[in-house]
């Protein structure tokens, strides 16, 4: 079945969000793996997780820094977090190329208002459908969020190409019938997307 929509994750595909977190971890002398585990815990907690829309980014950083025993860092990290994100330019160039040829959508686990705050990305100019976990209170890889996406696109899963850097999320999408690309880096990822869409690189 022909692909009619291309669905992108944001973090790790369109945006480098981990470089700034590595800076935070280094500042307090914590191994990055441990820091990231705590960061994701407060992002994805099923009862209070920020990526489920149950707390603001301000509240998230208060909780995160308290858990890491550096509460004095809450305000500073909150202010530097989103400005620390960098566009992954090869993916953005591909998005510009695809606009007008396919329906373009985002499916992202994120905090309230994060991608609108990331002005460098200016995502709404490129994507006609945006499904974010904080808005719908469901996280990837729950099948409910993929079904919300399909409802908004008014397409079948087989008509959509889904791109994500987390293999668990592309695996879940594939089980629902999506065509997928596991995005492992800009150079390889863009080539794989082109191959899926055009049959060649």
Q: What is the pLDDT along the chain (201 residues), one digit of tens a residue?
A: 799 999 999 999 999 999 999 999 999 999 999 999 999 999 999 998 999 999 999 999 999 999 999 999 999 999 999 999 999 999 999 999 999 999 999 999 999 999 999 999 999 999 999 999 999 999 999 999 999 999 999 999 999 999 999 999 999 999 999 999 999 999 999 999 999 999 866
Q: CB atoms < 10 A from the CB of 42, how many?
A: 20
Q: What pLDDT sits at residue 62?
A: 97
Give kind and range of the element (H or E) at residue 106: strand 103-108
Q: What pLDDT sits at residue 68?
A: 97
Q: What pLDDT sits at residue 180?
A: 98
Q: What pLDDT sits at residue 201?
A: 61
Q: What pLDDT sits at residue 143?
A: 97
Q: What pLDDT sits at residue 84?
A: 97
**CB-based contact 119:84 (threshold 8 Å):** no
Q: Are strands 103-108 and 86-87 parallel, antiparallel or unpaired?
A: unpaired
Q: Are strands 160-164 and 103-108 parallel, antiparallel or unpaired?
A: unpaired
Long-range contact pairs involving 141-145 (C-beta distance under 8 Å, separation at least 24): 141/166, 141/168, 141/169, 141/171, 141/172, 141/173, 142/172, 143/172, 143/175, 143/176, 145/107
Q: What pLDDT sits at residue 192?
A: 96
Tokens of 25: 């971890």
């Amino acid at each position: 079945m022909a692909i009619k929509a291309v669905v992108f994750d944001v973090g790790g595909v369109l945006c480098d969000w981990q470089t700034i977190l590595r800076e935070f971890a280094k500042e307090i002398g914590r191994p990055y793996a441990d820091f990231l585990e705590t960061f994701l815990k407060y992002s994805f907690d099923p009862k209070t997780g920020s990526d489920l829309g149950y707390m603001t980014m301000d509240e998230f950083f208060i909780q995160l820094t308290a858990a890491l025993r550096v509460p004095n860092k809450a305000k500073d990290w909150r202010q530097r977090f989103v400005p620390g994100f960098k566009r992954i330019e090869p993916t953005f160039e591909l998005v510009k190329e695809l606009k007008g040829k396919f329906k373009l959508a985002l499916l992202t686990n994120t905090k309230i208002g994060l991608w609108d705050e990331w002005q460098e990305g200016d995502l709404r100019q490129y994507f006609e459908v945006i499904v974010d976990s904080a808005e719908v209170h469901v996280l990837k890889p729950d099948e409910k969020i993929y079904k919300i996406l399909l409802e908004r696109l008014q397409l079948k899963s087989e008509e959509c190409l889904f791109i994500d850097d987390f293999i668990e999320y592309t695996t879940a999408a594939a089980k629902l019938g999506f065509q997928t690309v596991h995005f492992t880096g800009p150079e390889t990822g863009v080539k794989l997307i082109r191959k899926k869409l055009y049959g060649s690189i």
